[in-house]
Amino acid sequence: MPGSYISIILGIVLAIFPITNKFIPDFNAQFFMMIVIAPLLFFEGQKTSNHVVRVKIKSIMDTVLFLPIVTIVVLSMGLHWTFSLIFPLVMMIIAVSIPTDATALSAVIGNKNISTKLNNTLKMESLFNGATGIVLLEAAILWLSAGKLLVIENSEHFIVSAVGGAMLGGIAAFIIMIIRQILIRSNINVVSSQLLIYLLTPIIIYVTAEHVHVSGIIAVVIAGLVHNSEAERSRFSVPRQFHASMQAINFISEILNSFVFVVLGVTLCRIFLDQQNYALHNFMWLWVGISIYLISLLVRFFYALLSKYSRVDAIVFAFGGVHGAVTLALTFSLLSETAKIIQSNYALILLSTTVVIILSMTVPVIVFRYILASNDVDQKFDADTRQKIKQDMVHKAILVVEEMKIETYIKDRVRYDLLDQVAKTTVFDFVKEWRNQSTKRLFEKAEIKQEKQALMLAFKEEREYVRQLILSKTISVELGHEIYSEILLAESLVIDPVNQLS
């Protein structure tokens, strides 16, 4: 089971029990999009190479424009004829089901191998099609209130929203980037301030874009792409700051991703609890949700075949349209339109969308298990190889330290630190070292110098050992660099005064 599904189950458990449910605030779509989705899209955009976007621009336009339009046409006809639903209502249901979710997709794919081309296509789709869903939803609401579909006006609105969002995101990100670069090259540069400016960037850009009525989603994605190029060309200006920023980004991304799935679990559970009277007396929501999912699968499959994907990749693309938090946020944004949407129709939208989300996150896990190869074996092999290499390099480092003419108790401390690199120390060993550190006298300067020299020499031996393995092609360059970087990070804790506790 993917780890993200544990977070969903945790959310469901929190919502089921009244004692915990009462402490969880109601879902706020605008706040959720601003604080959670915008930063995640920004970080995802920053991880995306601008070259990939330029190469995939035609594919992006197809998945953002052509695929949603075809999906809406086919689904609208099918749902209207099958369930006798009015077209504006059908369009609302479909519009909230258009956006795919990169976070949910990663959870569904897990450790399965998919082609780089297909992975890039699915990733680009999830980055940009949220804006399409929002515009289509607004068009459906306008259709419901005006009584007719304003094709020209809606098309103009989409173009203005998309182009305006891209321009605002690019210009705002560039200005913020230049300000940060000026600060980096000044005497008033502070790491914490730089990091705060960076983390606030997606929120500021998203709020500004929404305030001027252009796409906040496209704005933050483009802003992320701008920062991708900045990161590549300024990482050595202040290395400590860049490293701290990357660690903060990874940490915050993990928290937000986990938070998304907990919120998803809480919200899905609350939807069924709140709508149980309607849900138990009218099962149209179930059949509508299943129909949307199945028809969407067929449309995506034939679209992939027409795009010259192989049959297997076409199947993966079809099931790779995973829906999650963005879809829920769009659905709950309709709460402000309750004057135009009667309660039973809103319940139908809410429940059918929930079915689509659940199916899109569960069915692919089963399907991918049988059609995609797993890299569990490779990961296990790499983990075993990695551990064996680290044990050998530590052994060589200890031998070098043993030959040094330093105090025995210093050798013992260094030996413990080196063995700690490969988890060869027990809790008992740790408690013993902790007690010695807490009760014994502090080292003199000469002793500190000896310990530092011993560690530096040990790390040098470890790096040389890994380097020789890479040169002899005993291990892959990727694995060698991974181990090498760990040694360098450990070494930085010894020589970098900022990273030292005392």
Amino acid 209: pLDDT: 94
Residue 377 banded pLDDT, cuts 50, 70, 90: very low
- Calculate the average pLDDT of the chain: 84
In angstroms, the CA 293 to CA 286 distance is 11
Give the model confidence (pLDDT) of 299-349 as tens digits. 999 999 988 888 888 999 999 888 888 888 888 887 766 556 676 677 888
Amino acid 223: pLDDT: 92
The beta strands (E) that lie in 334-391 are given as none
Amino acid 501: pLDDT: 57
- Please, are residues 109 and 368 in contact by the beta-carbon 8 Å criterion? yes
Cα dihedral 442, 443, 445, 449 sign? negative
CA geometry: angle 198, 45, 304, nearest 5 deg: 170
Cα end-to-end span (Å), the chain: 43
Rg, the chain, Cα only? 27
Q: What burial letters (b/e) apply to 2-11, b meaning 16+ CB within 10 Å?
A: bebbebbeeb
Give the model confidence (pLDDT) of 222-263 as tens digits. 999 888 877 777 777 777 777 778 888 888 888 888 888 888
In angstroms, the CA 79 to CA 295 distance is 10
In angstroms, the CA 389 to CA 374 distance is 24
- Around Cβ 424, how many Cβ atoms within 10 Å? 13
Q: Residue 203: name the closest of 173, 175, 246 by CA.
A: 173
Give the model confidence (pLDDT) of 22-31 as tens digits. 888 888 888 8
In angstroms, the CA 382 to CA 393 distance is 16
Residue 126, H or E segment: helix 116-146
Give the model confidence (pLDDT) of 382-428 as tens digits. 677 888 899 999 999 999 999 988 888 888 888 999 998 888 888 88
For residue 406, the one-letter residue type is: I
Amino acid 98: pLDDT: 87
Q: Residue 335: name the closest of 350, 313, 324, 351 by CA.
A: 350
Mean pLDDT, range 196-203, rounded to an integer = 90
| Residue with token string 């003419």 | 405
In angstroms, the CA 16 to CA 22 distance is 10
Confidence check: pLDDT of 148 > 60: yes
Residue 126 bridge partners (DSSP): none
Mean pLDDT, range 361-371, rounded to an integer = 86
Residue 112 bridge partners (DSSP): 374
Residue 374 bridge partners (DSSP): 112
In angstroms, the CA 268 to CA 261 distance is 10
- Please, are residues 454 and 401 in contact by the beta-carbon 8 Å criterion? yes
Distances (CA, A) of 456 to 401, 494, 495, 498: 10, 8, 9, 17
For residue 449, the one-letter residue type is: K
Question: By three-state DSSP, how is residue 112 classified?
Answer: strand
- Please, are residues 133 and 95 in contact by the beta-carbon 8 Å criterion? yes
Q: Note the residue count of the chain.
A: 502
Mean pLDDT, range 343-369, rounded to an integer = 85
